[in-house]
């Protein structure tokens, strides 16, 4: 095998090096400056290779012993010290913005200092151990469908791991087969109440008991298998930062999920929230404190007319949709890019899109209407940088702050304020 010098870490979390034939190799379990002598290939393409380093002959001073044997499956940055992790995350944010023609100073990376047992949600695979004839908890090996049995894991809440072990114990006591199940999903709230359960192969996903949590004093309900923030203490730090930039009486919260951003930092404003997932939308309405007043069989609700009408036909079936009163938060079920007519110059617009970033139609409308402030929280700084590059001719970056929602992993949450 070629000896490989690791040049740097790249967005996504791998180290990059060059093989003797000129191909690039992307490696897990490496740090900048290290020299790799042996590695296990997980993917081979014509122009690059992906692999996991198995023998490192020159180690970085920032390398530490991983806490978990399964770290590559769950949290592949366990092998670097925590301060270096924060430094790398700041540099990766700078790099993706530089690739889009935007030069940033190194952003502050905000953390609550807790590197372990922070996840309030975990999904396990189930593995049948032929030697003991017992089901065991497992994760998938990185870059593979192969299951790796585990003794424990350090990034999820202790209550989740304890409940997972109880469920596996029960399966073994009943003589169940691991192959019957797709996975085991569990979630817990701040009080340690755990909900969730087993997904059976070939069966609809079960409906689990909802959980509730308080965020900045506001209570939210959510499904264990729905979208809700994984690390609530750091999320609250991000919300407090975002709240500083609410500068208008009118606030539009796009990609709002169950409403935890808009309702936590702008409930006292003239607030409109837009979400396209019907399950998240049902929770959003509850969190707004209103009952649904729409025929959800339409698949979406329509936005209030900009011409002042309080009723508007649903675009899918033509039935009239009543607009909620203006005295409370208003929630609408549609794609954010279909809510363009509700963007106004005198608003603060909040966007927290999925990893793909904002739809191009939405970016173009923001440029056209030019709301006074955009608060952009992103789980993928690469697509955030792309979107900000499109907006930079009419907006300037007022603030940048990075949040360490997922310690010991390369995942980054980045906040950009545009004015």
Report the side by side order of strands in the sheet with 250-254. 108-110, 397-403, 413-418, 373-378, 347-351, 250-254, 270-275, 330-333
| Span of 34-43, 218-227, 254-263 with lowest mean pLDDT | 218-227
Residue 185 CA to residue 208 CA, distance in Å, equals 10
Residue 307 has pLDDT above 70, yes or no: no
Which domains, from first to last, does the chain contain? 1-63 (2.40.50.140), 121-200 (no CATH)
Say which residue the tokens 């009486």 belong to: 249
pTM (two decimals)? 0.90
pLDDT of res. 289 = 86
Question: Alpha-carbon distance 143 to 141, whole Å?
Answer: 6
What integer pLDDT is reported at residue 227 of this predicted model? 86
Which stretches does DSSP call E strand in 150-269?
181-188, 194-200, 211-215, 218-222, 250-254
Over residues 97-133, the pLDDT tens digits come to 999 999 999 999 999 999 999 999 999 999 999 999 9
Task: Calculate mean pLDDT across residues 253-280.
Answer: 96
| C-alpha 42 chain-centroid distance | 25
**Could you report the per-residue pLDDT of 132-147, keeping only the tens digit for each?**
999 999 999 998 899 9
For 154-177, what is each residue's pLDDT tens digit?
999 999 999 999 999 999 999 999
Mean pLDDT of 325-331: 73
Q: Whole-angstrom Cα distance, residue 185 to residue 160?
A: 9
Whole-number Å distance between alpha carbons of 370 and 394: 8
- 239 confidence band (pLDDT: 50, 70, 90): very high
Task: Tell me how crowded residue 203 is: count the other CB atoms within 10 A of its CB.
Answer: 11
Q: Dump pLDDT digits (tens) for 185-199.
A: 999 999 999 999 999
pLDDT band at 321 (very low <50, low <70, confident <90, very high): very low
């Amino acid at each position: 095998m070629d000896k490989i010098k690791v040049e740097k870490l790249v967005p996504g979390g791998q180290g990059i090096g060059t093989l003797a034939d000129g191909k690039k190799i992307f490696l897990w379990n490496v740090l900048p400056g290290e020299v790799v002598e042996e590695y296990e290939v997980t993917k081979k393409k014509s122009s690059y290779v992906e692999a996991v380093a198995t023998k490192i002959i020159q180690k970085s001073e920032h390398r530490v012993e991983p806490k978990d044997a399964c770290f590559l499956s769950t949290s592949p940055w366990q092998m670097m010290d925590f301060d270096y992790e924060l430094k790398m995350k700041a540099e990766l944010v700078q790099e993706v913005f530089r690739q889009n023609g935007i030069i940033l100073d190194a952003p502050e990376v905000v953390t609550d200092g807790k590197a372990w047992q922070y996840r309030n949600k975990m999904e396990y695979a189930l593995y049948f151990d032929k030697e003991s004839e017992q089901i065991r908890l497992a994760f998938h090996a990185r870059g593979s469908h192969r299951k790796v049995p585990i003794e424990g894991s350090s990034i999820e809440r202790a209550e989740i791991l304890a409940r997972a072990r109880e469920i596996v114990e029960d399966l073994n006591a009943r003589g169940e087969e691991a192959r019957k199940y797709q996975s085991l999903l569990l979630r817990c709230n701040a009080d340690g109440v755990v909900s969730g359960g087993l997904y059976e192969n070939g069966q609809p996903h079960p409906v689990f008991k909802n959980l509730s949590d308080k965020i900045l004093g506001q209570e939210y309900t959510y499904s264990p298998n729905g979208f809700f923030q994984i690390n609530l203490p750091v999320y609250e730090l991000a919300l407090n930062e975002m709240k500083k930039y609410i500068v208008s009486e009118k606030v539009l919260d796009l990609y709002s999920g169950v409403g935890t951003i808009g309702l936590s930092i702008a409930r006292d404003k003239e607030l409109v929230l837009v979400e396209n997932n019907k399950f998240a939308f049902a929770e959003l309405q509850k969190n707004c404190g209103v009952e649904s007043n729409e025929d959800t069989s339409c698949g979406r609700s329509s936005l209030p007319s900009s011409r002042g009408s309080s009723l508007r036909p649903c675009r899918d079936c033509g039935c009239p949709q009543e607009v909620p009163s203006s005295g409370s938060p208003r929630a609408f079920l549609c794609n954010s890019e279909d809510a363009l007519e509700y963007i106004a110059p005198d608003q603060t617009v909040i966007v927290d899109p999925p990893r793909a970033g904002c739809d191009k139609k939405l970016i173009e409308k923001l440029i056209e209407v030019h709301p006074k402030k955009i608060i952009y929280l992103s789980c993928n700084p690469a697509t955030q940088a792309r979107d900000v590059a499109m907006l930079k001719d009419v907006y300037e970056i007022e603030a940048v702050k990075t949040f360490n929602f997922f310690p010991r992993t390369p995942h980054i949450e980045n906040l950009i304020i545009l004015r």
